[in-house]
Amino acid sequence: MKVVPVACLKDNYAWLIVADDDTLWFVDPGEAEPALYAARGKGLPITGVLLTHHHADHVGGVEGIREAYPNVKVYGPAADAARLPPLDVALEPGRFSFAGMSAEMRAIPAHTKGHVAYIVGNHLFCGDTLFSGGCGRLFEGTPDDLRVALYVTLADLPDETVVCCGHEYTLDNLRFARRLLPDDDAMKIREGHARALRAAGRPTVPTLLGEERRTNIFLRATRPEVVSAIGFGPNTSLTNVLSALRRMKDNFRG
């Protein structure tokens, strides 16, 4: 299996999966044209689409893909089917298979109530709940939903997991985190690396979950230096720390 980010709209990424059986799949095609262009480049039809959540910048390309490839199969969470484009395969959380591969869908409601992640081999497709260097806004979920998603539901995934998220937000996320932890060497190095990638016109994603655990402030929210950086005492609950961090990020203007 090969996985590549495909830039869509202003700063979205759809993810192209080239499966070992030579079928093409897209996660969250926010726009049809870049997906169709990528498929034409491979000389293969698009076999299926996996959707993480209902926002237009993640599902907007489904209709155009279906027009070009009427046999495409659209997969998504059954629980949010009413807000998604028509699903051919409505999934419950748990294991499923596509392209001859075993995969897993997990509910990570935070950014939206019906948000899910897909785990395919060592890849995690996490939409807008977990970002490179940050996390998504809580449009529908609560800070406690975010705690469960990041610290319970995804906690068993190994550090080598390849994180494939929905937007190019790495630099903005690291700028925010470094405002709180200006002396953190790991974050400083990562910001320099991300800056160089962007200057070269390259994506900063995918990243590795271990790198996120080291340098993503939302995955380090149990650590004393983060808790004290936002002015809280050592006995503050993780939910309250995440809530404060998310609110600060919402109001952050680089």
Given 28, 53, 115, 184, the catalytic residue: 53
Task: Choose the binding region for Zn ion from 124-132, 190-198, 200-208, 242-250 (rule: CB under 5 A).
Answer: 124-132
> Catalytic site residue 28?
no
Given 54, 55, 115, 123, the catalytic residue: 55
- By beta-carbon proximity to Zn ion, the closer residue of 130 and 226 is 130
Radius of gyration of the chain (CA): 18
Q: Based on the shown chain and the rule CB under 5 A, indicate whether residue 168 belongs to the binding site for Zn ion.
A: no
> Catalytic site residue 123?
no
Q: Binding string to Zn ion for residues 176 to 215, with x set by CB under 5 A, is what?
A: ----------------------------------------
> Catalytic site residue 55?
yes
Task: Choose the binding region for Zn ion from 99-107, 126-134, 168-176, 206-214 (rule: CB under 5 A).
Answer: 126-134
Given 28, 54, 58, 123, the catalytic residue: 58
- By beta-carbon proximity to Zn ion, the closer residue of 77 and 187 is 77
> Catalytic site residue 20?
no
Least gap, CB of 152 to Zn ion (angstroms): 21
Given 54, 115, 123, 167, the catalytic residue: 167
Least gap, CB of 139 to Zn ion (angstroms): 7
CB 163 within 8 A of CB 212: yes
- By beta-carbon proximity to Zn ion, the closer residue of 24 and 108 is 108
Q: Which of 80, 128, 168, 184 touches Zn ion (CB under 5 A)?
A: 128
Pairing of strands 162-165, 123-127: parallel
Least gap, CB of 129 to Zn ion (angstroms): 9
> Catalytic site residue 53?
yes
> Catalytic site residue 144?
no
Write out the binding residues for Zn ion, residues 42-81 only, by CB under 5 A: 55
- How many Å apart are CA 152 and CA 106, to the nearest integer? 11
DSSP string for residues in the chain = -EEEEEEETTTEEEEEEE-TTS-EEEE--S-HHHHHHHHHHHT--EEEEE-S---HHHHTTHHHHHHH-TT-EEEEEGGGGGGSSPPSEEEPSEEEEETTEEEEEEE--SSSTT-EEEEETTEEEEETTEETTEE---SSS-HHHHHHIIIIITTTS-TTPEEEESB--HHHHHHHHHHH-TT-HHHHHHHHHHHHHHHTT-----EEHHHHHHH-GGGSTTSHHHHHHTT--TT--HHHHHHHHHHHHHT---
- By beta-carbon proximity to Zn ion, the closer residue of 34 and 166 is 166
Please give the positions annotated as active site: 53, 55, 57-58, 111, 128, 167
> Which positions lie near Zn ion, rule CB under 5 A?
55, 128
